[in-house]
Homo-oligomer: A and B are copies of this chain.
Amino acid sequence: MFQAVNKRSISDEVYDQLCSRIVSQELKAGEELPSERLLSEMLGVSRNAVREAIKRLQQARLVDVKQGGLTTVLDYRAEAGAELLPNLLFDQSSQIQVDVARSIVRMRQVLSPEIAADAATQGRAETAERLAAVVEQMRAANEAEAVQRLAFQFWEVLVEGSGNIAYRLAFNSLRRTYEPLWGLMTQMLSGQQQKLEIFERLAMLVRQGQRDEAARCAKDYIDESSAAIYEFLDLYEQSAKDSSNTQIEGETP
């Protein structure tokens, strides 16, 4: 009924505004930002807020700031880290950037089998325990969306079980990127998520430490799942092209 009001801080607002202008190439690499004082005047906020936003841009390696000189924009493709992906997924008109989405799905597809393999070698008993618990919940769940959410949780457990902190952090970034697409994803994958046997089998293979088998099993699953997403993205891309050709801003089909 009632929902929480949307409160965002001023500096967040400034950050988002600058960030989107950089990733959209409206501010190109090598160009200079207006000075802090000028920016604060133009945006109607205090210099303090502008400074906090610019500090964050600096941390994200989107700009290079030096005392006494102007702040310059960097090439985000060469400098930024994976945490920028969520900012790249949508363009100014909130359309999905299909190539970005494909990149993410592809990376997930490539990493997943190896994650399963490492989990089978590394975690074993405890990981298998937790995987089994998730599968149990999946069996108990009756809504498609709940099952979907648990399927993702299954992978989170697997990632944790691989004992690889780089996988873990990279997956956090990927997760944040496709989080806003959650609604679409459940709809997209609704047809094919019934088979719990795969998850069961994967949990068993991890328990038994069957590295290669686990990788193969994970690959079978993730390839199929990815294919469904690619297919959807192709459709989305086509419809986006059509609607831009006919100058119509349409809803997602």
Contact = CB atoms under 8 A, between A and B. Distances in A.
Interface of A: 11, 48, 51-52, 55-56, 59-60, 77-85, 88, 99-100, 102-104, 106-107, 110-111, 114, 118, 160, 163-170, 172-174, 176
Contact of A174 (B107, B110, B111, B166): B166
Given A82-B173, A84-B169, A169-B82, A103 B164 contact: yes
B85 A166 contact: yes
A173 B82 CA distance: 7
B106 A118 contact: yes
A143 B99 CA distance: 40
A52 B56 CA distance: 8
Nearest to A113: B110
A233 to B, nearest CB: 14
User: How many of these chains are in the complex?
Assistant: 2
Contacts of A83: 81-83
Nearest to A78: B172
Contacts of A56: 55-56, 59
Contact of A111 (B102, B110, B168, B173): B110
A165 B100 contact: yes
Given A52-B52, A104-B166, 11 more contacts: A11-B55, A51-B52, A81-B169, A81-B173, A82-B83, A82-B166, A99-B163, A103-B165, A103-B167, A107-B167, A110-B111
Residue from A85, A118, A165 with most neighbouring chain B CB atoms (10 Å): A165
A107 B164 contact: yes
Residue from A52, A82, A160, A173 with most neighbouring chain B CB atoms (10 Å): A82
Given A82-B82, A172-B80, A107 B52 contact: no
Given A59-B59, A79-B172, A81-B172, A106 B52 contact: no
A121 to B, nearest CB: 11
A56 B160 CA distance: 26
Nearest to A55: B52
Contacts of A168: 77
18 contacts: A48-B48, A51-B52, A52-B55, A55-B55, A59-B59, A78-B172, A81-B169, A82-B83, A82-B173, A85-B166, A99-B163, A103-B166, A106-B118, A107-B170, A110-B110, A111-B111, A166-B174, A170-B173
Nearest to A79: B172
